[in-house]
Structure 1
Amino acid sequence: MVSHNIWLRDHCRCSECFHPVTKQRLVNTFDIPADIAPLSVESKQYGLEVTWPAPAPHTSIYPWLWLQEHSYDPPARPKLENATDPEKVLWGSNIAQNPPTVTFEEAMTDQGLFEWLSKVDKFGLCLITGVPPTTEGTEKLSERIGFIRETKYGKLWEMTADLAMGDTAYTNVALGAHTDNTYFTDPSGLQLLHVLSHTGGTGGKTLLVDGFHVAATLKERHPESYTLLSTVPIPAHAAGDDGGIYQASPKSGYPTLSHDLVTRELYQVRWNNNDRSVMDHLDPKIVEEWYEAIRIWNRLLKSADSEYWVQLSPGTALIVNNHRVLHGRSSFTGRRWVCGSYIVFDEFKSKLAVLKERFDPDRVTADTRDPSSGSSVWSPAL
């Protein structure tokens, strides 16, 4: 493993260089000489000990496990090349046999909350049973994760087929598999849904599709289409309500499949053909290829192997990762009353990271955590 001297000096995490409470860098990166060289380097049982030269001699200690985890020469984590995080479980219709589930009572405990959020992180969805069939119970469940994101639909929104909002969701027609908020620059991360009642009719089954699973299938069978969906931005809009026209910034939109620039890992799916705006930025040479690509994508989404249908009922809520799992519903009759919320993805990831340090810490965190100052300064989150 190779590390440059300036990189090592910049990453010293003693209390003089990295605040133990705020977890923010104190060392002035720009005061470090570009050609800095250590006075001495020693291998200790607890890590690599490096002594740096004037203006004031300084000793830095780097835990061995931390150095291994963050090696860049060779890389500690090989590029996934458009794959998905191996810790994620991809699924199709077979998930109906044993869908990830927790109880409301479990979610109200810290250990249960960790199990709940871990399942959401792993599968992209989770059912919660035993939820009080009220808006108050739904709000209490939502706030176990973090702040509820208020949007044009409100904070904790309620929905029935009355077109109270200019959105097809507020009708009784079927909705194909889609992600929400494609017209927002930052689509909501999690969506929680709870059917509070359904009277005088039938239908309204919820449709769920693992976008990561479908993307993996698309990449394997139709790599050219995968590339197009990963590179061609799609503009979107929401303009059904007086006084509001929403468009993501930049106006050209975002591709259906977004990847980490370093690992090339797929991290977000954006797809709602109903909200798509004019595709007037397409290169004329790829117009037909792009339409063929979204036709294939749509066909894979609608495959019986991809679709998981579940009839939600009062007392059973559903949460989905809106950056991964597409949702929809069948048409229905009668009065179907649904409430739900959006939760910022950063809130979810933060709560999960804190609980993981507590209930399932990685080796570096377990070895270096100081309970008096919160998270370890060597936490992988930092």
Structure 2
Amino acid sequence: METEEGVRVLTDLIRRKGFAFVDGTPYDDPEHTKRLLERIAFIRVTHYGGFYDFTADLAMADTAYTNIALPAHTDTTYFDDPAGLQVFHMLSHEPDATSKDPNALGGESLLVDGFNAALELKRTSTWAYKILTEVPLPWHASGNKGIAITPERTYPVFETAPGNKALLRIRWNNDDRGVVPFHSGCSPVDWYDAARKWNALLEDKRLQYWEQLKPGRTLIFDNWRVLHGRSAFTGKRRICGGYINRNDFMSRWRTLNRTPEEVNRVVIG
């Protein structure tokens, strides 16, 4: 990661596969992980702060600050421009005094390729895919004092590019979702039927990838494409990481993985 070639390979892996691991990240000080993020681009600041370093202490009114299981979801659905990349590095995981088996602490991380799951939904339930693409929903972050964030407009679960209708971005987090509206194309009942189809795919073990994070192995993934979650855990777990803007990630990837002529064609059009 000290070389531009290393960052080129890393950003290309994330761009093509949706996620990547960086092994050998020092974990004696979270500053090492922070510097790793900054090799890609600057860290995005939100109401949670910038670079985060936390335990399950309920310091924020968010399920991430608990030890409960979290289903597959995307982060920052309540921003018009959700975070592009998300980074997790588990610095430590210590059993509590009552634990009988220090090797059974739990907390495995879940990843689901949302684009793959969405295309599977489109193939098997075209009507459900259409509903989740066309019905805009309200999203919000309002659990912390003085915070009431909501996008300037409503957005569907699946956002597609104009013209070719290719999948651009997925928003999915039931803890951030507002009331399902009545829509000219469907009722809330229709939407929930479609959402159940979608959720069943996210829970399909064939589409899930589980990995037990460990100190020294940093996980970086595309928050527009890859949904993440975790199993419940015991003991005290310390996680650090942060967000990176999508445009800044894409700029870094493009300038390292494309020729100047190719970059110019993208910029000029």
Residue 306 (structure 1) shift: 0.9
Q: Tell me, what secondary structure is at the counterpart of 1:197?
A: strand
Distance 1:152 1:212 in 2: 28
Q: Which residue of 2 aligns with 1:153?
A: 48
**Counterpart for residue 255 of structure 2:** 354
- 8 Å CA contact 2:76–2:83 kept in 1: the answer is yes
User: CA-to-partner distance for each residue in 1:208-245, whole Å, 9 max, x for gaps?
Assistant: 00000001100000011000010111211111111111
Task: Tell me how far apart the structure 1 counterparts of residues 106 and 141 of structure 2 sit (CA, whole Å).
Answer: 26
* 1:75-90 pair list within 5 angstroms: none
Deviation of 1:283 (Å): 4.5
Aligned counterpart, 2:36? 141
* Percent identical: 43
Q: Helix, strand or coil for the counterpart of 2:163?
A: coil
Superposition pairs for residues 103-252 of structure 1, below 5 Å?
A: 107-133=1-27, 134-200=29-95, 202-250=105-153
2:194 match: 293
CA shift for structure 1 position 273: 1.2
- 1:354 to partner: Cα distance: 0.9
Report the Cα distance in structure 2 between the residues aligned to 1:140 and 1:284, rounded to whole angstroms: 48
Q: CA RMSD in A?
A: 1.5
**Cα 1:284–1:230 shift into 2, 3 Å:** closer
Structure 1 unmatched ranges of 5 or more: 1-106, 367-374
| CA–CA distance in structure 2, aligned partners of residues 299 and 204 of structure 1 | 22
TM-score (structure 2 length as normaliser): 0.92
Which residue identity is paired with 2:137?
Answer: I
The aligned residue for residue 31 of structure 1 is: none
Structure 2, unpaired ranges of 5+: 97-104
Q: Distance in 1 between matches of 2:163 and 2:249?
A: 23
Letter in 2 for 1:231: E
- 2-structure distance, mates of 1:380, 1:164: 43
Residues 1:267 and 1:280: Cα distance change in structure 2 (over 3 Å): closer
Give the aligned length.
259
Q: Deviations over 1:77-104 (max 9, x none)?
A: xxxxxxxxxxxxxxxxxxxxxxxxxxxx
Answer 1 or 2: higher relative contact order, Cα 8 Å, separation at least 6.
2
Matching residue of 1:307: 208
CA distance in 1, matches of 2:109, 2:197: 23
Q: Which amino acid aligns with 2:165?
A: R
Calculate the TM-score normalised by the size of structure 1: 0.66
